[in-house]
Structure 1
Amino acid sequence: MLTFGLIGCGSIGGFLARLLTREDDELAGRARLAAVAGRDPVRAGTLAAAVGRPATDVAGLLARRDVDAVLVCTPSGTHAGLAEAALRAGKHVLVEKPVDVSPRAADRLIAVARETGRTLGVMSQHRFDPAARLARTAIESGRLGRVTSVMTELAWWRGPSYYASGGWRGTPALDGGGALMNQAIHAVDLVQWLAGPVVEVAAHTARLAHPGIEVEDVATASLHFANGALGTLLATTAAYPGRTARTAVNGDRGSVVIDDDELAYLHLAQDGEDAPAYGAYGAADQSAEHAAELARDRTRDAAGLLYQPHRDQLLDFCDAVREGRPPLVDGAAGRQAVAVVAAVYASAETGRPQRVDTGAPADGRQEERLP
């Protein structure tokens, strides 16, 4: 049994608190919530009362001997500082995305996790969607052939009330950026998990529909992957009334499309198969053949979020702590996503392609930077 303390009582903190305290056969005996803490004692008290757990401040939560691990669900720019304090208090840590708002902050946090010997994970629950797992297996096994291109699009809408709901939203210091750092960080993580690391970007950003914020509400980027594949990225919170997120990975022997976290298209070429010279134009979809692999618990929280992917990530984190291994989404994976976002912002600011900062190797030696 891994006992969690929760820091941050906003929307995602409330969701995770409800997940950890609901009657869930899969989490029962594996994870439980001991206490909650937040910057606003009134909000913390309200959440604590709703889930039947005590409320405390951060220092009090970190001092609790019955807390094995801490969930950090505060504004993005505070993640590394709070997570470091939890690690130094002897707790394992699972940080809500992004790990923080800069690669350097992520580096400091990863170093503290290594120093303390505690487990560090970053919430990126879409890796646990059945469609994403199936796509990853197909790509890893070579069923798509050589990956040639990737397209990911997150065309959402966020109204003025969303940005007004917290003073940190839409600020560089605490949100770290806009549509890309906050919303599309999930897509950036997912495409790299599927197609490998991005090594260079060329990008533009703009603020077109939300004049009251300090960050972008539209970002576009051309992506160059380490394996040679090319990709495109669109992230926006200015697409009224909001559409689904969509990611496509194409290879020379197959293609896969994930739309709204579900498998929308899959074709894996069979031995000896030869497509028409002008292609199939979207025909030959094999996704229905994988219905059993795509089955999932579709129970939703009052906030509208599916429980299944977050629950599966929590279970993976519990297993990682017990087995002494890194979780599926560890600190390095969280840093990799943030480094790509930082490169997009740098490219947009300078008007030039930008190499992605890969950081220092695990042994701490400084890696030679690419020009």
Structure 2
Amino acid sequence: MADTTQQVAIVGCGIIGRTHADTIAERPDATVTALVDSDPAAREALAARLKEAGQPEPTQYDDLSAALGGGQVSLVAICTPSGTHAALAEQALDAKKHVVIEKPLDVELTRARRLGAAATRAANHGVISSVISQHRFDAGSAQVKQAIDAGRFGQLTSATASVAWWRSDEYYASAGWRGTWEQDGGGALMNQGVHTVDLLLWFMGRPVSIYAQAIRAAHHAIQVEDTVVATLTFENGSIATLHATTAAFPGGRTRVSVHGTEGGAEVEDDLLARFNADGQKDDQSIDAGPPGGHKAQYDDIFAAIANNEQPGITVNHAIDALATVRAVYIASTLQRPVKFVDVLEGRYDDIDVSRGIGLPPS
């Protein structure tokens, strides 16, 4: 029987690269064979971490081209700053390597669309690509989605999604790309809130129109927003509010609530906090289990590779989430609602969204 062990290159050896490396190190069907980072110290630190976990020593490279040319790579995990994701992923796909991209897909829709086309071409040759949105694999979120699909909440009417976190000035100063448009692509919504945006779309469907206001409420040294509120309408006729902030000291909770004519549910900090369905007034919450994390999504990705099928989360899913975030920034900039499809299809690509981040009233 052929060896099906995936040989993984981790591209970007910082905080999130360590998460991917730890997840891979726990799998019997994968080995980290390559570490890619322009910072030798970051590579060495991650190599030492893998050695402590009992893993064989990976080869270290300065750039992805060298790693792809060196062989011993079948899957590439992109863990670099957000603005570099799409270009690196496309490079890996062109080399016929499976790709896992840390959220968000990228910060520019033009690059994301190009990657979407590359991912479709690669899929025709059995090459899998996926974007990390691990909260779709949380047991509580999965139960909510199953209830929605089965019609157990009746007609969906509304939803609320909130990410109320705190990030210090030191956090933003800790890396030159943080809080910049070029590499971070946005602030509280793009970086911290994109997972919640993804869940909102998973539950409610594709948006129709979006209106928003984004501000820098507390962190004036950054380029991007630290607080944003938006309203969205969806194709199913429902509406939602979306809120994200990194200016909520000392840090609050993440919540997604879904409401319908026969029930609803609330997921709080990745756990199912309330569940009513089938017209029953009493809370029917059960122990849905802990969050799935990166492990659960990697399980899905590896199953897709083994079965030559699409993973649960594709590049196109991530494009929708990125387009939603972009639509929020555009709506804040133009100070009027924008249509989601116009953003998705590039009609607002020339808008400078950095003009849309206001300051709170003095």
Q: Same fold (TM over 0.5)?
A: yes
Are 1:295 and 2:299 matched, yes or no? no
Are 1:101 and 2:135 matched, yes or no? no
Secondary structure, aligned partner of 2:220: coil
Are 1:11 and 2:11 matched, yes or no? no
Secondary structure, aligned partner of 2:265: strand
Moved more, 35-44 or 234-243: 35-44
Secondary structure, aligned partner of 1:192: helix
Q: What TM-score do the two structures reach when normalised by structure 2? A: 0.88
Give the distance between the partners of 2:210 and 2:226, measured in 1 at CA: 18
- Deviation of 1:10 after TM superposition, in Å, equals 1.0
1:16-35 aligned within 5 A: 16-22=20-26, 27-29=27-29, 31-35=30-34
Identify which of 63, 76, 88 aligns with 2:94: 88
Moved more, 65-74 or 151-160: 65-74
Equivalent residue number for residue 356 of structure 2 = none
Identify which of 311, 319, 330 aligns with 2:303: 319
Counterpart of 2:283, as a letter, is: D
Equivalent residue number for residue 133 of structure 1 = 142
Are 1:240 and 2:246 matched, yes or no? no
- Deviation of 1:352 after TM superposition, in Å, equals 0.6
- Deviation of 1:102 after TM superposition, in Å, equals 2.1
Uncovered stretches (5+) of structure 1, i.e. residues with no partner: 276-283, 297-305, 361-365
Cα deviations by residue, 1:301-340 (Å, 9 ceiling, x for unpaired) = xxxxx7x421110011111122222211100000000000
| CA contact 2:109–2:319 (8 Å) conserved in 1 | yes
| CA contact 2:140–2:289 (8 Å) conserved in 1 | no
Counterpart of 2:61, as a letter, is: T
Secondary structure, aligned partner of 2:35: strand
- Deviation of 1:64 after TM superposition, in Å, equals 3.6
Give the distance between the partners of 2:75 and 2:153, measured in 1 at CA: 39
Identify which of 262, 267, 274 aligns with 1:253: 262
Secondary structure, aligned partner of 1:227: coil
Equivalent residue number for residue 61 of structure 2 = 56
Give the distance between the partners of 1:210 and 1:246, measured in 2 at CA: 23
Counterpart of 1:209, as a letter, is: A
Moved more, 146-155 or 10-19: 10-19
Identify which of 193, 198, 203 aligns with 2:212: 203
Secondary structure, aligned partner of 2:160: strand
Give the distance between the partners of 1:132 and 1:62, measured in 2 at CA: 36
Are 1:171 and 2:170 matched, yes or no? no
Counterpart of 2:31, as a letter, is: R
Moved more, 194-203 or 173-182: 194-203
Give the distance between the partners of 2:170 and 2:163, measured in 1 at CA: 20
Equivalent residue number for residue 350 of structure 2 = none
Cα deviations by residue, 1:282-306 (Å, 9 ceiling, x for unpaired) = xx2110xx22xx134xxxxxxxxx7
Equivalent residue number for residue 352 of structure 1 = 336
| CA contact 2:128–2:310 (8 Å) conserved in 1 | yes
Equivalent residue number for residue 343 of structure 1 = 327
Uncovered stretches (5+) of structure 2, i.e. residues with no partner: 52-56, 348-362
Equivalent residue number for residue 229 of structure 2 = 220
| CA contact 2:207–2:233 (8 Å) conserved in 1 | yes
Give the distance between the partners of 2:249 and 2:270, measured in 1 at CA: 20
How many aligned positions are there?
332
Cα deviations by residue, 1:183-211 (Å, 9 ceiling, x for unpaired) = 10001000111111112100000001001
1:301-312 aligned within 5 A: 308-312=292-296
| CA contact 2:135–2:270 (8 Å) conserved in 1 | yes
Equivalent residue number for residue 281 of structure 1 = none
Identify which of 314, 323, 332 aligns with 1:330: 314
Secondary structure, aligned partner of 2:248: coil
Are 1:38 and 2:32 matched, yes or no? no
Give the distance between the partners of 1:326 and 1:76, measured in 2 at CA: 23
Cα deviations by residue, 1:330-360 (Å, 9 ceiling, x for unpaired) = 0000000000001000000000101113746
Runs of 4+ in 1 over 3 A off after TM superposition: 357-360
Cα deviations by residue, 1:33-59 (Å, 9 ceiling, x for unpaired) = 222111212211211122133222222
Q: Please give the root-mean-square deviation of Cα atoms over the aligned residues, in Å.
A: 1.6
Equivalent residue number for residue 354 of structure 2 = none
Share of identical aligned residues, percent?
Answer: 40
- Deviation of 1:88 after TM superposition, in Å, equals 1.1
Secondary structure, aligned partner of 1:163: helix
Instruction: Name the CA shift for 1:82/1:15 in 2 (closer, same or farther; >3 Å).
Output: same
| CA contact 1:63–1:89 (8 Å) conserved in 2 | no
Give the distance between the partners of 2:289 and 2:31, measured in 1 at CA: 26
Equivalent residue number for residue 182 of structure 1 = 191
Equivalent residue number for residue 83 of structure 2 = 77
Identify which of 283, 286, 295 aligns with 2:284: 286
Secondary structure, aligned partner of 1:4: strand
